[in-house]
């Protein structure tokens, strides 16, 4: 990696504030290099070879559309090394998705890839005010999941003292925050709220700690949930986007203005397409994000369908960085469920629930077929254990039901349940259980 010379605001000012035309020229050059590596992999050698695509086929970013999409199924079908274009002797690490059925999606990294990824995360952390003098605590899972080692290496690349606390054990997390003087924490949104609840249970005011910055990501969340986390923990919470197939965390990150996530275009090409037609949509319109890696020497991926729904924010950012921003992830095309002909995203439900004081953060949507009719039930925990004497429960349930009907255009069953009665997860929260029989 080149010598890093921060300017006080940017970790790599020459990259982060590169003029758009120059940045696009850099993308074309890197795309050509990427295709040359891809052509050495069994998968892309066959796929691109059948279409006669080489690096010489690319003369502008518009030429990217000549290349077919890559999907999660392609990675599974070519498990484990079918997309590796580099020399496996130069591989230093493997990560994979959690995949509970069939083959997981595997990504193989060279030393260059690890350093490039660490530098991106350091760039993100520096952008939100973290410095060498900070203490960074990582409450993400380690192992094959990328969130642990990804932020670990990025924080160390920045030079911050790093606490690999790993997932769970909230009382220990709080002890470390207090004892080590943690200033920056990485946590998924649902766990950040759980941690705030444990702070309260332990009688510890987060304001008495040095914690001031929170990095959140890995699961979709609403703006209302983010603001709630900030109030509960007394921090500024910055949204992050990443996925294993694209390295892991750090692909895009908010700056201090919290108005969308800067996607690092020296490392990725971003496209937004209509998920049905797969045609590009105009900037500002919601669609499925498609990403191409530009700085991986072991296992680059071309035009990967992420299934994540977002939009490009094309307007220049007040921070002066030229890399375009993506909006917060609305949901995933594969998270959406259809009930009674209506498309519903879990985040639409969360958007309503967070508006009601007295409700906790844990909720569960259950889909069932009863007497040949599909029924959607929304269970949400109360914020207090004092449930039997809660005087306005019936009114609240009716109000929530009415608000959900206005939002999703159908009427669910709403149940308010005791705090702690719904399943808790240290990983990504499970929000939907579909018990309906398969429609073969």
Q: DSSP letter string over 362-422? A: EEEEEEEEETTEEEEEEEEEESSS--TT-TTHHHHHHHHHHHHHHHHSS--EEEEE-TT-S
Average pLDDT over residues 90-94: 98
Domain 337-434 has CATH 3.30.300.30: yes
Question: Residue 83 has what pLDDT?
Answer: 98
Question: Residue 36 has what pLDDT?
Answer: 98
Among 47, 163, 167, residue whose Cα is nearest residue 98:
167
Structure tokens at 272: 């937004």
234 Ramachandran zone, left/alpha/beta (phi>0; psi -120 to 50): left
- In tens, the pLDDT along 296-317 reads 999 999 999 999 999 999 999 9
pLDDT at 388 over 60: no
Asked which of 121-135, 157-171, 406-420 is least confident by mean pLDDT, the reply is 406-420
Euclidean distance between CA atoms 62 and 428, whole angstroms: 36
Question: Residue 438 has what pLDDT?
Answer: 60
pLDDT at 427 over 70: no
Asked which of 25-34, 258-267, 347-356, 424-433 is least confident by mean pLDDT, the reply is 424-433
Beta strand residue intervals within 281-345, DSSP E: 287-293, 304-310, 312-313, 325-326, 331-332, 337-339, 342-344
Question: Residue 436 has what pLDDT?
Answer: 86
Euclidean distance between CA atoms 402 and 394, whole angstroms: 12
3-state helix/strand/coil string of 114-145: HHHHHHHHHHHHHHCCCCCCCEEEECCCCCCC
Average pLDDT over residues 120-126: 98
Q: Which residue has the higher pLDDT, 410 or 14?
A: 14
pLDDT at 439 over 50: no
Asked which of 1-15, 60-74, 127-141, 251-265 is least confident by mean pLDDT, the reply is 1-15
Asked which of 9-23, 309-323, 337-351 is least confident by mean pLDDT, the reply is 337-351
72 Ramachandran zone, left/alpha/beta (phi>0; psi -120 to 50): alpha
As its CATH architecture, domain 1-333 has 3-Layer(aba) Sandwich (3.40)
pLDDT at 202 over 90: yes
Average pLDDT over residues 87-95: 97
Question: Residue 216 has what pLDDT?
Answer: 94
Structure tokens at 143: 């192992």
């808790």: which residue's tokens?
Answer: 424
Average pLDDT over residues 310-327: 96
Average pLDDT over residues 351-369: 89
- In tens, the pLDDT along 233-279 reads 999 999 999 999 999 999 999 999 999 999 999 999 999 999 989 99
Euclidean distance between CA atoms 380 and 19, whole angstroms: 48
Domain spans in the chain, listed from the N-terminal domain onward: 1-333, 337-434
pLDDT at 330 over 70: yes
pTM for this model (two decimals): 0.82
Average pLDDT over residues 349-365: 89
Euclidean distance between CA atoms 422 and 124, whole angstroms: 34
């Amino acid at each position: 990696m080149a010598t890093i010379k921060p300017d006080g605001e940017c970790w790599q000012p020459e990259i982060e504030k590169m003029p758009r035309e120059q940045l696009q020229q850099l993308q074309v050059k890197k795309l050509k290099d990427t295709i040359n590596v891809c052509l050495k992999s069994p998968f892309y050698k066959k796929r691109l070879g059948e279409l006669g695509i080489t690096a010489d086929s690319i003369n502008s970013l518009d030429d990217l559309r000549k290349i077919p999409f890559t999907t999660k199924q392609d990675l599974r079908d070519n498990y484990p090394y079918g997309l590796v274009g580099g020399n496996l002797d130069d591989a230093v690490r493997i990560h994979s998705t959690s995949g509970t059925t069939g083959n997981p999606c595997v990504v193989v990294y060279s030393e260059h890839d690890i350093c490039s990824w660490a530098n991106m995360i350091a760039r993100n952390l520096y952008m939100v005010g973290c410095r060498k003098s900070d203490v960074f605590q990582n409450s993400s899972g380690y192992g094959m999941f990328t969130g642990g080692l990804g932020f670990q290496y990025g924080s160390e690349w920045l030079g911050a003292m790093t606490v690999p606390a790993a997932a769970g054990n909230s009382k220990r997390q709080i002890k470390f925050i207090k004892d080590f003087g943690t200033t920056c924490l990485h946590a998924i949104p649902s766990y950040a709220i759980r941690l705030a609840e444990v702070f309260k249970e332990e009688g510890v005011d987060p304001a008495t700690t040095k914690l001031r910055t929170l990095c959140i990501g890995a699961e979709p969340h609403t703006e209302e949930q983010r603001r709630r986390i900030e109030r509960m923990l007394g921090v500024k919470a910055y949204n992050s986007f990443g996925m294993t197939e694209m390295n892991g965390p750090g692909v895009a990150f908010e700056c201090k203005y919290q108005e969308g996530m800067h996607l690092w275009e020296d490392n990725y090409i971003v496209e937004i397409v209509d998920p049905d037609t797969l045609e590009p949509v105009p900037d500002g319109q919601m669609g499925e994000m498609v990403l191409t890696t530009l700085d991986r020497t072991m296992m680059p991926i071309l035009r990967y369908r992420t299934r994540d729904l977002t939009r490009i924010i094309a307007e220049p950012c007040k921070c002066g960085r030229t890399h375009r921003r993506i909006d917060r992830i609305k949901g995933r095309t594969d998270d959406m469920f259809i009930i009674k002909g209506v498309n519903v995203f879990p985040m639409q439900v969360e958007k309503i629930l967070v508006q009601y004081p007295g409700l906790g953060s844990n909720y569960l949507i259950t889909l069932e077929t009863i007497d040949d009719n599909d029924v959607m039930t929304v269970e949400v925990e109360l914020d207090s254990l004092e449930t039997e004497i809660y005087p306005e429960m019936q009114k609240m349930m009716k109000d929530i039901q009415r608000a959900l009907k206005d939002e999703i255009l159908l009427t669910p069953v709403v149940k308010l349940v005791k705090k702690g009665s719904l399943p808790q997860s240290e990983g990504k929260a499970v929000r939907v259980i579909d018990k309906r029989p398969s429609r073969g």
